[in-house]
Amino acid sequence: MGTTDGDISAEFTEYALKARSRLQRTAYLMCGDWHLADDLTQETLITLYRRWGALDPDIGPAAYATRILVNKVRRSAKRAWRSREIMTPPPDLPAPTSQGTENRQVIVKALSRLGPRQRAIVVLRYWEDMSVEETARLVGCTRGTVTSQSHRALATLRALLGPIVG
């Protein structure tokens, strides 16, 4: 007896309820906008649902969901990056005033100063704790590119966040 649509829906719903907040946080760190992150997470889950019955069980849905999310964030970032280049440059980073929430806001703002690829690499490597190989596969580049872009991105972040990280 095959899997019914009801079984697929129940399995997917269970997965989506568990994974949604992780996907949304990752999307937020990659795009810097909670509303856009929510939209991208929803689009990711819709795309994943459409493919749910055909997923390779050895890989697991988390890898598929992360890959879909990265692609959606990258496409969104390309559109935003083009329009941002036409607009005025981003304002200077605010000086950190205390620990906690203010530092997180400054860090997210610093992440927004990175290009879309560098930002995706930093978030996947250091937030999602993925290997260089996993990150390269998800971003669609070589291991060397992940390594060099990580190095450049971290140097940029250190320069921007000196008072926080130093």
99: domain CATH number is: 1.10.10.10
- CATH number, domain at 80? 1.10.1740
- Positions in the chain short of pLDDT 50: 1-2, 81-91, 93-94, 96
Q: Which domain holds residue 22?
A: 1-87
Q: What is the pLDDT of residue 96?
A: 47
Domain count, the chain: 2
* 37 contacts: CB under 8 Å, gap ≥ 6: 24, 25, 27, 28, 30, 31
79-121 pLDDT, tens digit each: 654 444 444 444 454 454 555 567 777 888 888 889 888 999 9
User: What's the confidence (pLDDT) of residue 91?
Assistant: 46
Write out 61-103 in H/E/C secondary structure: HHHHHHHHHHHHHHHHHHHHHHHHHHCCCCCCCCCCCCCCHHH
Residue 41: predicted pLDDT: 96
Residues 109 and 157 in one domain: yes
- Give me the pLDDT at residue 6, please: 67
Return the H-helix or E-strand segment holding 108: helix 101-112
Whole-structure pTM value: 0.72
Domain shared by 44 and 3, yes or no: yes
Do 122 and 142 lie in a common domain?
A: yes
Q: Which two tokens mark 31?
A: 């795009």
